[in-house]
């Protein structure tokens, strides 16, 4: 059984036609059909059934594909590991990160690493916390940058820094002239929140509970800067990290939302890096992990 045939099988199994697959592989359609038939003979079962002009996986085909995917993934990881051992200053770092870290933490740690290792490439993905955990457990990411320990024994997490959170209020708000507030003073106010599944949403609800109330949901969004803009527009208040003004400068006509310190509750969140427990990272990813541990604490915006 050849790896090349497994790759062709996977392509057809994922919906490509035999004609298109053969064209991309620079083989004739009859040659590809014969290769798939030989694969079925080796496996001892029909892997495809025809549905019109398309091929669909049989139950045996679906079962076989799971193992074929694992074989190809392990082979590609092995080739990658050997290549990085031969030249550890090249390779690919697969990194997933929390949406809210993409505006201030991820850019400087990536650019600093690329200055040292310009031939290294990155495969980047953004998620909420649940998606980040899945990336690690599925093996599609070597490292993730997230808030808080995932609390899974299959994942190792290390704190990088503690990020302060502030209460953002509209410029015309009754508390806007203050430098600090008690979070309890905002009970009854509409809160602009991230959707369920984001760590900052859970943190906000937990901190409000410590202050003795549940936040009234005024709006739910997917991006911190969207929430900040809606606060500025007067639609509610929010518990947010400090803005990175170098990346998101206010327009001349804009009066940005004041960000007030909180005096009755410790408002902050942990930011950390995580990787799969018990699995040795590829050399280039391990180098990047060490780089992040050394440089991330300096990435916080000034208070």
Helices 18-25 and 3-13 pack at an angle, to 10 degrees, of 140
Confidence of residue 249 (pLDDT cuts 50, 70, 90): very low
Of 244 and 30, more confident: 30
Say if residues 267 and 241 touch (Cβ distance below 8 Å): no
**Which class for 256: exposed (0-12), middle (13-18), buried (19 or more C-beta within 10 A)?**
middle
Q: Give the Å distances, CA to CA, from 191 to 65, 185, 205, 217, 234.
A: 47, 13, 10, 5, 11
Tokens of 77: 């990881």
Residue 172 is predicted with a pLDDT of 93
**Which class for 63: exposed (0-12), middle (13-18), buried (19 or more C-beta within 10 A)?**
middle
Inform me whether the pLDDT recorded for 303 exceeds 60. no
Concatenating the DSSP letter of every residue in 71-123 gives HHHHHHHHHHHHHHHH-TTSEEEEEEEEGGGTTTTHHHHHHHHHHH-TTEEEE
Confidence of residue 84 (pLDDT cuts 50, 70, 90): low
- On whether the pTM is more than 0.95, the answer is no
Residue 131 is predicted with a pLDDT of 84
- pLDDT tens track for 282-301: 888 999 999 999 998 887 76
Question: Nearest CA to 198 among 300, 98, 271?
Answer: 98
Q: Bridge-partner residues for 237, per DSSP?
A: 191
Share above pLDDT 90 across residues of the chain, in percent, rounded to a whole number: 48
Residue-range domains of the chain with CATH: 3-85 (1.10.10.10), 91-303 (3.40.190.290)
State how beta strands 216-221 and 48-51 pair: unpaired
Confidence of residue 250 (pLDDT cuts 50, 70, 90): very low
Inform me whether the pLDDT recorded for 251 exceeds 90. no
Confidence of residue 102 (pLDDT cuts 50, 70, 90): confident
Report, as an integer, the average pLDDT of 14-25. Answer: 87
Residue 148 is predicted with a pLDDT of 86
- The listed range with the strongest mean pLDDT (23-37, 178-192, 249-263) is 178-192
Of 189 and 90, more confident: 189
* Rounded (5°) CA angle 280-139-39: 110
Residue 54 is predicted with a pLDDT of 76
Inform me whether the pLDDT recorded for 252 exceeds 70. no
Confidence of residue 127 (pLDDT cuts 50, 70, 90): confident
SS3 176: coil
Mean pLDDT of the chain: 87
């Amino acid at each position: 059984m050849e790896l090349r045939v497994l790759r062709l099988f996977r392509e057809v199994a994922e919906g490509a036609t035999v004609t298109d697959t053969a064209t991309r592989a620079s083989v004739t359609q009859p040659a590809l059909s014969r290769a798939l038939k030989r694969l079925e003979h080796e496996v001892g079962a029909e892997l495809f059934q025809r549905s019109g002009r398309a091929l669909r996986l049989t139950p045996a085909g679906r079962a076989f594909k799971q193992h074929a995917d694992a074989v190809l993934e392990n082979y590609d990881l092995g080739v990658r590991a050997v290549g990085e051992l031969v030249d550890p200053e090249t390779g690919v770092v697969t990194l997933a990160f929390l949406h809210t870290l993409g505006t201030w933490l991820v850019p400087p740690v990536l650019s600093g690493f690329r200055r040292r290792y310009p031939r290294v490439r990155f495969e980047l993905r953004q998620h909420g916390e649940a998606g980040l955990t899945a990336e690690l457990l599925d093996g599609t990411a070597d490292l993730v940058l997230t808030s808080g320990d995932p609390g899974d024994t299959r994942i190792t997490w290390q704190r990088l820094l503690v990020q302060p959170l502030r209460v953002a209020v509209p410029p015309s708000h009754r508390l806007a002239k203050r430098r600090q507030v008690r979070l309890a003073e905002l009970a009854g106010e509409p809160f602009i929140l991230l959707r369920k599944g984001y760590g900052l949403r859970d943190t906000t609800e937990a901190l409000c509970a410590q202050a003795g109330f549940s936040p009234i949901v005024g709006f739910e969004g997917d991006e911190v800067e969207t929430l900040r803009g809606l606060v500025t527009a007067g639609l509610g208040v929010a518990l947010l990290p400090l803005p990175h003004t170098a990346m998101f400068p206010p327009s001349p006509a804009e009066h940005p939302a004041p960000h007030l310190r909180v005096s009755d509750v410790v408002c902050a969140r942990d930011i950390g890096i995580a990787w799969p427990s018990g699995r040795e990272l590829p050399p280039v990813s391990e180098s990047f992990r060490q780089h992040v541990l050394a440089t991330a604490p300096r990435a916080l915006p000034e208070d």
